[in-house]
Structure 1
Amino acid sequence: MSETVAVIPARGGSKGIERKNLRRVGGIPLVARAILAAQRCTEIDRVVVSTDNDEIADVAREWGADVVMRPADIAGDEASSESALLHALAELEARGIGVQILAFLQATSPFIDSTSLAEAVRVVSSRRRDVAFSAVESFAFMLAPRRWRLRCGPGPRRRLTPEATGSGGALPRDRSVLRHARARIRRGRPSLLRQHRHHRSA
């Protein structure tokens, strides 16, 4: 039976903030907050943390997530989120776990709304869309070196991405839900789901 699986990439190395994914917000480690949000989502069957760090792995297991240990070659500063997702899917397949829908969550978003996540999964599972992104409407005046184009393929790492406007005046966010996960990471019919400002990343 295929499952809806939330995957949370959380590597140990961080140049900007040391041990970032273990930093506490409201007394709870960031990675654990993402785990809790996924566990509270009625549409998620399994929560998986992809990491190269034993301490993060221990925290993830303590909070009830499965763990996929990521090899060093896809855990460095140049590693993409896509590589972590594809590795996690392959590892789950090797464990006999079929993944029909993949929910990609960032540990660095401490206020993920479980209800909105469930809505995104339903949009994808209904086959109305192949991928759903959360977004926050913004009317701020922004300058960017080039126009943002929504795409479902490998992109620049988050800390290197310029501030830019998104489709319909929304800002692309760091959470997404994909159907037929491996086939749809690079292509698909996207949907933007508007979020309230208090659900934005910190």
Structure 2
Amino acid sequence: MNIIAIIPARGSSRGVPKKNIRNFCGKPLIAWAIETALKSPRIDRVIVTTDDPEIAKVAKKYGAEVPFLRPKNLAQSTTQMEPVLKHTIEWLQKNENYKTDAIVLLMPPNPLRSVKQVGEAIELFLKKDPDVVVPLSELSAAHHHPHWIVRPVKNGNSYKLLNAINQNVKYAPARRQLLPKYYVKNDLVFVMKPKILYEKTACYFGGSKQEPFIMSDFYDEDINIPSDWAKMEAKFRQIKKGMTI
């Protein structure tokens, strides 16, 4: 089975310019994703897809393959991930006659992943044979829980408060301990069959058979704006000190 890691890195990051090659705890941000992938024994190839020659140079320095520069039309702020991944595996098939059996997607803006977690996600994929392994963080903060998030809906001369799952708030649990568990997707590590990239689905990396890879909300982070940087570095240092949750 050919399992490849794909690391997407656009050059025109708006929230944090050049974030993929900006220094993060001693190395370019993208280097952490590359090194984690290279240390993962189940991964056969580590491919960086980028439109930026500078990012390509850094990626190669840290051991990744950059067999092409991504077309500009696939490197816009509005570009979805599916066509980027399709372009990568189709390029490998066309130019190298290389068939991809599984994709491990590693997003550089979440560098908190470990080699162990990547390995666990891949083993889950191989054992359960889903279309996709989806990383999920449990919602532990009660004020983020869908039962307690409300929207006011006009009801005659007054308003009715509905929660995020369209139920009257008076029926929502009043105590945190009674709340059902809910989860949110994070970008730590996805593992998927290439076929799901060609299926029409309303769900981000949906597939007909999904397998959750559950972890704590510690990993529900991303670097999107400048203020995220210091918070992410603090969490990263916690991991290096063995203080993870």
TM-score range, shorter chain: 0.7 to 0.9
How far residue 144 of structure 1 moved from its aligned partner, in angstroms, is 7.6
Partner residue in 2 for 1:61? 60
Match for 1:176 among 177, 190, 204?
Answer: 190
Q: Is the 8 A contact 2:186 2:219 kept in 1?
A: no
- 1:198 is displaced (CA, Å) by 4.5
Question: Is residue 20–residue 29 contact of structure 2 (8 Å, CA) maintained in 1?
Answer: yes
Q: Give runs of aligned pairs for residues 39-188 of structure 1, distance below 5 A.
A: 39-67=38-66, 68-94=68-94, 95-140=96-141, 141-142=143-144, 143=149, 168-174=181-187, 175-179=189-193, 181=194, 183-185=195-197, 186=199, 187-188=207-208
Shift of 1:170: 1.6
1:14 aligns with 13
1:33/1:107 contact within 8 Å kept: yes
Following the alignment from structure 2 to structure 1, what is the Cα–Cα distance between the partners of residues 103 and 212? 16
Query: Alpha carbons of 1:82 and 1:62: their partners in 2 closer, same or farther (altered >3 Å)?
Result: same
Q: CA deviation at 1:70?
A: 0.5
Q: CA deviation at 1:195?
A: 2.2
Corresponding residue of 1:160: none
Q: 1: CA distance between counterparts of 2:107 and 2:150? A: 24
Q: Which amino acid aligns with 2:192?
A: L
TM-score by length of 2: 0.68
Please say which structure displays the higher CA radius of gyration: 2
Question: What CA distance in whole angstroms lies between the structure 2 residues aligned with 1:44 and 1:199?
Answer: 22
Give the TM-score, by structure 1 length.
0.81
- Distance in 2 (CA, whole Å) between partners of 1:144 and 1:53 is 42
**Per-residue deviation, 1:8:** 0.6
Is the 8 Å Cα contact of residues 139 and 217 (structure 2) preserved in structure 1?
Answer: no
Distance 1:116 1:144, change over 3 A: farther
Structure 1 counterpart of 2:213: 193
Residue correspondences, number: 180
SS at match of 1:171: strand
Residue 112 of structure 1: how far off its partner (Å): 1.3
Counterpart CA distance in 1 for 2:41 and 2:139 is: 29
Name the SS for the 1:86 alignment partner.
helix
For structure 2, the 5+ residue unaligned runs are 152-163, 166-179, 200-206, 222-231, 233-245
Structure 1: tracts of 5 or more residues without a match? 148-166
Cα RMSD after superposing both structures? 2.0
Give the 3-state SS of the residue equivalent to 1:102 in structure 2: strand
Aligned-residue sequence identity (percent) comes to 28
